[in-house]
């Protein structure tokens, strides 16, 4: 009976197979699917990421805007939260006092420039010329030109009288010398005339040299004063320029302390702050100590901002720059879990949606995903098995 049942069993299977041919097809498809899944699991690669809380931080130190001299506020050009460019005016201090002080010394400097040009011409004997810097000051040029001609005329007048005397003495010498040769007059008369001519020529030379020497001495004094005055003018020009407080960097305005036109600002008082805003954003991520082991500088990262839905507006691509050498805690939250601070730089300063840039400013929060490696699906399947095997090995 047992032998008969054994013989009938394969026959029964064959009979069932013949009656249901789809069973074989289903079995083959199931095996093929299983094989495909195994191959896919063996070669399909999934990314391993470490996540953490993220916050946009300034890429440079916050710039405090101060007025060195202080004064009265005459204009407010920006408000809290404004995005400003480097060099953009922020606050204007009443320039009346600084402008008056600057103009006073600038007039003195230009006057010294004109005097130096005149004295230089007198000392060198060259023609008078003025620097282009004062070419538009007609009154100053006219005054120095008249002074030059008056002083020059005085010298020329004194030397002209001597030149006339020399001419007369030479005529007299021309008459006396032949007579002395014939013995009609003493030879000493000829020598006397020649000595007088020589003395007169020396007087002309002395007066001309004294005129130039006096001009040279005066020129040295004027140039020395001009150097000192120029330094004062430079300082007062800077003070005048500082009446317009400008943004040192591109950034966002915050902590505006001055809100009233006509208010008095004390020297050195902080008036507002600029949070730097550059083409490269810095993102500060807080990573748990248990997740930091495989994070390295240079790894790719993705920043998703809470202010912009990443499914709609996308995310920021970045790269790990630095990792804090030790764990940190927030001073305001001493009970918070310790974390490692990871700084990530991005290659963009804004998100773009429908061709319109979406600004990103320091203080925005979100999450960061740092790519720490890649693993196949097969490895993920094996991980629980390996853990179970390791558990059985424990004593």
**Among residues 276, 299, 334, which one ends one of the domains?**
276
Q: Judging by beta carbons within 10 Å of its beta carbon (0-12, 13-18, 19+), is residue 152 exposed, middle or buried?
A: middle
Q: What is the CATH number of the domain that holds 67?
A: 2.40.50.100
- Look at the chain and report how many structural domains it folds into: 4
DSSP code of residue 134: G
In this structure, are 319 and 268 located in the same domain?
A: no
In this structure, are 210 and 235 located in the same domain?
A: yes
In this structure, are 100 and 214 located in the same domain?
A: yes
In this structure, are 230 and 109 located in the same domain?
A: yes
In this structure, are 158 and 180 located in the same domain?
A: yes
pLDDT tens per residue, range 101-153: 999 999 999 999 999 999 988 888 888 888 888 888 888 989 988 988 888 88
In this structure, are 321 and 379 located in the same domain?
A: yes
In this structure, are 213 and 257 located in the same domain?
A: no
pLDDT tens per residue, range 178-210: 777 777 778 777 777 778 777 777 777 777 778
pLDDT tens per residue, range 154-177: 877 777 677 777 777 777 777 777
In this structure, are 213 and 122 located in the same domain?
A: yes
pLDDT tens per residue, range 279-293: 567 889 999 998 888
Opening angle at CA 383, ends 371 and 369, nearest 5: 15
Residue 228 has pLDDT above 90, yes or no: yes
In this structure, are 107 and 196 located in the same domain?
A: yes
Domain coverage including residue 84: 63-94+243-276
In this structure, are 21 and 131 located in the same domain?
A: no
**Among residues 241, 265, 297, which one ends one of the domains?**
241
The backbone torsions φ and ψ at residue 221, rounded to the nearest 5 degrees and listed phi first, read -65, -45
More confident residue, 53 or 212: 53
| Confidence category of residue 50, pLDDT binned at 50, 70, 90 | confident
Opening angle at CA 25, ends 22 and 29, nearest 5: 135
In this structure, are 204 and 120 located in the same domain?
A: yes
In this structure, are 146 and 234 located in the same domain?
A: yes
Q: What is the CATH number of the domain that holds 301?
A: 2.40.30.170
Alpha helices in 182-301 (DSSP H): 187-241
């Amino acid at each position: 009976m047992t032998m008969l049942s054994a013989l009938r069993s394969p026959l029964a299977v064959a009979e069932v197979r013949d009656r249901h041919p789809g069973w074989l097809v289903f079995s083959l498809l199931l095996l093929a699917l299983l094989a495909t899944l195994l191959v896919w699991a063996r070669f399909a690669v999934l990314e391993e990421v470490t996540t953490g809380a993220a916050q946009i931080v300034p890429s440079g130190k916050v710039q405090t805007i101060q007025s060195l001299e202080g004064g009265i506020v005459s204009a407010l050009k920006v408000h809290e939260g404004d995005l400003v460019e480097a060099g953009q005016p922020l606050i204007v201090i009443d320039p009346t006092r600084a402008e008056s002080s600057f103009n006073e010394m600038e007039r003195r400097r230009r006057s010294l420039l004109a005097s130096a040009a005149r004295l230089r011409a007198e000392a060198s004997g060259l023609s008078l010329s003025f620097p282009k810097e004062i070419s538009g000051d007609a009154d100053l040029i006219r005054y120095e030109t008249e002074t030059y001609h008056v002083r020059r005329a005085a010298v020329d007048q004194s030397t002209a009288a001597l030149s006339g005397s020399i001419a007369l003495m030479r005529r007299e010498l021309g008459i006396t010398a032949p007579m002395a040769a014939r013995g009609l007059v003493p030879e000493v008369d000829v020598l006397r005339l020649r000595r007088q001519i020589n003395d007169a020529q020396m007087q002309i030379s002395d007066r001309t040299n004294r005129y130039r020497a006096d001009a040279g001495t005066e020129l040295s004094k004027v140039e020395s004063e001009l150097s000192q005055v120029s330094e004062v003018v430079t300082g007062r020009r800077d003070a005048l320029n500082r009446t317009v407080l400008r943004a040192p960097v591109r950034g966002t305005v915050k902590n505006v302390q001055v809100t009233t036109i006509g208010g008095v600002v004390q020297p050195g008082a902080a008036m507002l702050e600029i949070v730097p805003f550059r083409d490269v954003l810095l993102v500060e991520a807080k990573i748990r100590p248990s997740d930091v082991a495989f994070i390295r500088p240079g790894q790719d990262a993705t920043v998703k901002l809470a202010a912009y839905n990443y499914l709609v507006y996308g995310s920021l691509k970045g790269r790990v720059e630095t990792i804090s050498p030790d764990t940190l805690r927030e001073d305001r939250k001493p009970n918070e879990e310790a974390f490692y601070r990871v700084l990530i730089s991005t290659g963009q300063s804004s998100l773009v949606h429908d061709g319109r840039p979406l600004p990103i400013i320091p203080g925005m929060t979100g999450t960061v995903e740092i790519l720490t490696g890649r693993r196949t699906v097969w490895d993920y399947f094996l991980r629980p098995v390996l853990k179970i095997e390791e558990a059985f090995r424990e004593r």
